[in-house]
A = this chain, B = another copy of it.
């Protein structure tokens, strides 16, 4: 299937999440958050990786809008940008409301551990009841 290039002004959520899916790139963001704007060599010093590979990670972060670059002589200072992270938070928001509604304490964690007996706590979602209901995920 073919993809149409629309190149939106605001980076797509796809790009943002994909950029965050790499431990190298998340570590770069952490460094920028904790230590402020830095040159490429300062950022790269902790990574066992060829420089061009690291540059590629910076490009991904840049295209997602997560960092910006400022030239300073022959160095380039990278800086953390807040907007895409705020977009992640905004995306997350309705889910947060969802889980606050159903995560009453440790109920969920306990469910996940051992549930071999017959008392299925999801039984109350009958096939008809579960479908076509908007709003309430689980009763009780």
Chain A positions within 8 Å of B, measured between CB atoms, are 9, 13-14, 17-18, 20-23, 26, 29, 32-39, 42, 68, 70, 72-73, 75, 77, 79-83, 85-86, 88-89, 91-92, 94-96, 98-99, 102-103, 108-109, 112, 122, 124-125, 127-128, 130-139
Contact = CB atoms under 8 A, between A and B. Distances in A.
Contacts of A75: 127
A88 B92 contact: yes
A14 B22 CA distance: 6
Given A13-B26, A23-B14, A98-B82, A70 B127 contact: yes
Question: How many chain copies does the complex carry?
Answer: 2
Contacts of A135: 34, 36
Contacts of A108: 81-83
A33 to B, nearest CB: 5
Given A98-B33, A99-B86, A134-B36, A21 B26 contact: no
Contact of A68 (B81, B94, B128): B128
A137 B20 contact: no
Contacts of A72: 127
Contacts of A112: 9
